[in-house]
Chain A
Amino acid sequence: MSLWRTFKVAWEGLTLNKARSFLTTLGVIIGVAAVIVMLAVSAGAEAEIADQINSLGANLIMVMPSFQRGGFGPGAGGRGGMPGLSYDDISAIAENVTGIDGVSAEQTTMQDVKGSAVLEDISIVGTTSGFPQVRDYQVALGRFLTDEDNDRTNKVAVLGYDIAAELFGDSGTGLGQKVKIGSTSFTVVGVMEEKGVVGNVDYDARIYIPLTVVFKRFTNARFGGDAVRLIYVSAESKDTMEGVMSQVTTLLAQRHDVEPSMPDFSLTTQDSIIDARASTTEAFRNLLAWVAAISLVVGGIGIMNIMLVSVTERTREIGLRQALGARPRDVRRQFLFEAVTLSLIGGLVGVLAGVGGSYLFNELGTMRTDLVPASIPLAFAAAATVGIFFGYYPATKAAQLDPIEALRRE
């Protein structure tokens, strides 16, 4: 019997009980839709994280002190034996390294802040004028810190968006006002634009002051408090990243009097942070994929169940077909086609539902979803496999029926 005719016979069998066929298919529809939506959700989450991290400055290189070696050894050259990076390293990079857009640093201390209200344990970030440039994060009002602020240790502060709102309300700007950070009074010179939470950091709940002031007022310089914990170097483009990194390594190794191959600092890029993040979302994605796969298997079991019922119900029909010349494989094919047709229709509707669902989630702003194109053929193939796998047993059972017995059945 030709495949097309087998399909037509299978189709007749399915349309015999439309409601039942639909309900059977529902399992596969849900399974396939789940696969597509889950993959879209996790791809969306990954892209979201990547976007957020990149939104804090593209082509960013982070230089951090490495305490693994040399930190307390004799080779830490001229800096009192203390490990890490110095304030001068920042300007040295800015002056000597080519292919960069900007350099800045970050040194955080937790302090209570007093203005019109008291805010406890606020992140006070000591930084330099290059910060808005390298982190792609601008002031909304007033100005950011200048080189002069750092050189003269001016007690000026730029407030994060939420801090400004809490201290001065929505209407007041706070510019020119005083805030007390720890026991020191600062003049507000700017308010940052709204940024939100990126990674684990709530940028809007921070206050930015000159790095030198942090050293002087909050981290005791005499005990190594002037060691910079984080320098940002922003490369001009992706292509200059490699060159910038090797220049920075050479320069700092030379300044710290260490071998470039065994530095007392380490360089990290945004990409490596994104990768690290991705590995956590990957676990999440794998979990979702398993859930989706299980629902597909459950759908398949539903198909097998209904096919077994169908074979039992139609025993007499099978006997008749055998008497009229259907070979065992004709019968097997007929029921296999029914199972595969059910699962492929399920796959098709499931793909539509999955794509539609992903689109809807995105549109309604529930969550970001990025449709993974490969998930469509994947889910479809999975549905077909489920149909063949779970259809095979009932179909074989039908094919092995004895025509005499089958014809006698009522």
Chain B
Amino acid sequence: MTENLIEITNLVKVYGKGEIAVHALRGVDLQVQRGEFLAIMGPSGSGKSTLMNILGCLDRPTDGTYVLDGEDVSRLRKPRLASVRNRQIGFVFQSYNLLPRLTAVKNVMLPLLYNGHQNLSDAECHERAVAALEAVGLGDRAHHRPNELSGGQQQRVAIARALINNPSIILADEPTGNLDTQSSQEIIELLHQLHEQGATIVMVTHEPGLAEHAERVIFLRDGQIVSDQLNGQRRKGGKL
């Protein structure tokens, strides 16, 4: 029996109060095992962004519990949440979110700045960032700035940044949304590769074609999970 990395029980998120209250999530239950590649789908307004934000510890649920890697993070305060994000979560955004003034390697190093537990020297940080860039195939672009890189390359830098603190989950929000078909394919390949190496990946997308690459797809509508399916052929081992 594989241990659940993510265990979400009856998750509720309400924005606002009284009559204008918006129920973004209405009781979501979800378990994600270590090493899974999960896609979250749903039309806009379905609550997938809200779920993503809570999964990423950027937001807290109104009700329900979220246990991440054995720690209940649903009631943590801001500073603690920040360090959970730093240690456990690697974000990959649709628009890459690289700092334009920093070189690729400096961008990749950013999460290490906020990692209080490992007192790495500047040289060690640099070494790790270069290693992460090599892992995504950009070892030769370490000292380029984002504007000197293609969209696909920028997203790979962002993935390297997501990997640098060895997070429990990689949270990818429409990772190919800004990319052409060719680059999208490369990014998907990279995510597969990471998955093969054991990474847990949660990807939010509204493209069915992209969701096919995940081994499991959940579908949200009106704040609830309406379907939870395996893409059988991609599932390796394990069970649901």
Residue of A nearest to B80 (CB): A327
By the criterion CB–CB under 8 Å, are B91 and A323 in contact?
Answer: yes
Instruction: List A382-410 residues whose CB lies under 8 Å from chain B.
Output: 403-404, 407
Residues of A within 8 A of B91 (CB): 323-324
Residues of A within 8 A of B111 (CB): 324-325
Residues of A within 8 A of B56 (CB): 323
Cβ 8 A contact of B59, one of A16, A316, A317, A404: A404
Between A and B, 15 residue pairs with Cβ closer than 8 Å are A1-B113, A16-B101, A321-B114, A322-B85, A323-B91, A324-B85, A324-B86, A324-B91, A324-B110, A324-B114, A324-B161, A325-B115, A326-B114, A327-B114, A330-B114
Q: How many angstroms from the CA of A207 to the CA of B111 in the assembled complex?
A: 86
Q: How many angstroms from the CA of A203 to the CA of B155 in the assembled complex?
A: 86
By the criterion CB–CB under 8 Å, are A403 and B58 in contact?
Answer: yes
- Tell me whether A328 and B114 are in contact in the complex, defined as CB-CB below 8 angstroms, given that A317-B99, A323-B85, A404-B59 are known contacts: no
Residue of A nearest to B93 (CB): A407
B150-190 Cβ-contact flags toward A at 8 Å (1 or 0): 00000000000100010000000000000000000000000
By the criterion CB–CB under 8 Å, are A327 and B82 in contact?
Answer: yes
B237 in contact (CB, < 8 A): no
Q: How many angstroms from the CA of A9 to the CA of B110 in the assembled complex?
A: 10
A interface, size bucket: 20 to 34
- Tell me whether A320 and B97 are in contact in the complex, defined as CB-CB below 8 angstroms, given that A325-B83, A325-B85 are known contacts: yes
- Min Cβ gap A284→B in Å is 49
Residues of B within 8 A of A407 (CB): 58, 93, 97
B110-148 Cβ-contact flags toward A at 8 Å (1 or 0): 110111100000000000000000000000000000000
By the criterion CB–CB under 8 Å, are A328 and B78 in contact?
Answer: yes
A12 in contact (CB, < 8 A): yes
- Min Cβ gap A329→B in Å is 7
Cβ 8 A contact of A9, one of B53, B78, B83, B113: B113
By the criterion CB–CB under 8 Å, are B113 and A5 in contact?
Answer: yes
- Min Cβ gap A153→B in Å is 92
- Min Cβ gap A64→B in Å is 74
Residues of A within 8 A of B114 (CB): 1, 321, 324-327, 330
Instruction: List B45-94 residues whose CB lies under 8 Å from chain A.
Output: 53, 56, 58-59, 78-79, 82-83, 85-87, 91, 93
Chain B contact residue count (CB 8 A cutoff): 25
B14 in contact (CB, < 8 A): no
B149 in contact (CB, < 8 A): no
By the criterion CB–CB under 8 Å, are B53 and A328 in contact?
Answer: no
Other than the given A1-B116, A316-B97, A326-B82, 16 more pairs (CB < 8 A) read A1-B114, A12-B102, A16-B101, A320-B99, A320-B110, A323-B58, A323-B97, A324-B85, A325-B86, A327-B82, A327-B114, A328-B82, A330-B114, A407-B58, A407-B93, A407-B97
Residues of A within 8 A of B102 (CB): 12
Q: How many angstroms from the CA of A316 to the CA of B96 in the assembled complex?
A: 12
- Min Cβ gap A410→B in Å is 9
Residues of A within 8 A of B161 (CB): 324
- Min Cβ gap A170→B in Å is 72
By the criterion CB–CB under 8 Å, are B82 and A322 in contact?
Answer: yes
Q: How many angstroms from the CA of A187 to the CA of B79 in the assembled complex?
A: 95
Residues of A within 8 A of B110 (CB): 320-321, 324
Residue of A nearest to B173 (CB): A407
Residue of B nearest to A330 (CB): B114
A301-333 Cβ-contact flags toward B at 8 Å (1 or 0): 000000000000000110011111111111000
- Min Cβ gap A125→B in Å is 76
Instruction: List A1-31 residues whose CB lies under 8 Å from chain B.
Output: 1, 5, 9, 12, 16
By the criterion CB–CB under 8 Å, are A325 and B53 in contact?
Answer: no
Q: How many angstroms from the CA of A181 to the CA of B85 in the assembled complex?
A: 98
Residues of A within 8 A of B82 (CB): 322, 325-328, 330
Residues of B within 8 A of A1 (CB): 113-114, 116
Residue of A nearest to B115 (CB): A325
Give 8 nearest A-B pairs by CB, closest first: A325-B86, A325-B114, A327-B82, A327-B79, A324-B111, A320-B97, A326-B114, A403-B58
- Min Cβ gap B31→A in Å is 24
Instruction: List B31-47 residues whose CB lies under 8 Å from chain A.
Output: none
Residues of B within 8 A of A326 (CB): 82, 113-114
Residues of A within 8 A of B116 (CB): 1
Residue of A nearest to B164 (CB): A324
Residue of B nearest to A329 (CB): B79
Q: How many angstroms from the CA of A142 to the CA of B78 in the assembled complex?
A: 92
By the criterion CB–CB under 8 Å, are A325 and B101 in contact?
Answer: no
Residues of B within 8 A of A9 (CB): 113
Residues of A within 8 A of B78 (CB): 327-328
By the criterion CB–CB under 8 Å, are B87 and A404 in contact?
Answer: no
- Min Cβ gap A254→B in Å is 84
Residues of A within 8 A of B59 (CB): 404
Residues of A within 8 A of B79 (CB): 327-329
Residues of A within 8 A of B99 (CB): 317, 320
- Min Cβ gap A102→B in Å is 75
A323-350 Cβ-contact flags toward B at 8 Å (1 or 0): 1111111100000000000000000000
Q: How many angstroms from the CA of A325 to the CA of B84 in the assembled complex?
A: 7
Residues of A within 8 A of B93 (CB): 407
Q: How many angstroms from the CA of A172 to the CA of B168 in the assembled complex?
A: 104
Residues of B within 8 A of A5 (CB): 113
Residues of B within 8 A of A12 (CB): 101-102
Most buried by B among A16, A320, A323, A330: A323
Q: How many angstroms from the CA of A32 to the CA of B58 in the assembled complex?
A: 43
- Min Cβ gap A344→B in Å is 22
